[in-house]
Amino acid sequence: VVTPSYNQGQFIERTISSVLDQNVPSLEYMVIDGASTDGTVDILKNYEARLRWISEKDNGQAEAVNKGLRSTGGDIIGWLNSDDIYYPGALSAVISLFEECPQADVVYGDAYHIDERDRIIEDYYTEDWNFERLKEVCFLCQPAVFFRRRILERFGFLDAGLKYCMDYEYWLRLGADAPFVRMKKKLAGSRMYRENKTLGQRIAVHREINHMLLNRL
């Protein structure tokens, strides 16, 4: 599991706990922090016996995730942002489904939108797998998506030039030729609050998505 982080000290301990409390044997967890100034580093130091972390300036979320992917070696990869959480049993369920479906390259599950206090706002809109439909709407909740490391050899890493929709672009890149399998189980909480990128910069988010789709489709 890779967590990109920057000045999310109010949430990151809940994120870390949700990963470590999964109690998955041989879990490799790495936090890539972008030189936070809000106390995040002190929190990371408290957990360094159970995870690896670095804190240094970077060029954004996608670069941080890529750095984490290159610095880890697990066969199954999860990417959990520093304000999101996994629900109990999520990783064990994902591992079991990958074992049952050796042909699957990507497994995704259901999720909730949650608020600052982890309270459920609503279901995250999710659909059964259909690549043509994915071109119309991103129905995958990023923290509830997991993929095999072999994906990186075939499709490369995230587009570090994207600031907002690097996950959607990656799912489109994979979806054209990689088997996706849906798990109808709530795996993650995706946090929505006024200051986060999705809500706080909606015009910029949609502009980048439109440009990405024009270039890709």
Question: How much of the chain, in percent, has pLDDT values that exceed 90?
Answer: 87
CB of 112 closer than 8 Å to CB of 123:
yes
Determine the pLDDT at residue 120.
97
Per DSSP, what are the bridge partners of residue 77?
147
Determine the pLDDT at residue 193.
83
217 band by pLDDT with thresholds 50, 70 and 90: low
Determine the pLDDT at residue 156.
96
Determine the pLDDT at residue 39.
92
CA distance 200 to 198: 6
117 band by pLDDT with thresholds 50, 70 and 90: very high
Stretch 188-194: mean pLDDT, rounded?
91
CA distance 106 to 175: 9
Which residue is listed with tokens 């520093």?
82
Q: Which residue has the higher pLDDT, 206 or 184?
A: 184
Letter string b/e over residues 58-85, b meaning 16 or more CB atoms within 10 A of that residue's CB: bebbbbbbbbbbeeeebebbbbbbbbbb
Stretch 156-166: mean pLDDT, rounded?
93
Stretch 10-24: mean pLDDT, rounded?
97
pLDDT at 137 over 90: yes
CA distance 195 to 217: 31
Angle between helices 166-175 and 202-216 (to 10 degrees): 30
pLDDT at 102 over 60: yes
Per DSSP, what are the bridge partners of residue 112?
123, 189
CB of 147 closer than 8 Å to CB of 162:
no
pLDDT at 25 over 70: yes
Determine the pLDDT at residue 204.
80
CB of 2 closer than 8 Å to CB of 65:
yes
Q: Count of alpha carbons within 13 Å of 74, Cβ hemisphere only?
A: 19
pLDDT at 215 over 70: yes
Q: What is the DSSP string of 107-175?
A: EEEEEEEE-TTS-EEEEPP-----HHHHTT-----GGGEEEETHHHHHH-S--TT-SS-HHHHHHHHHH
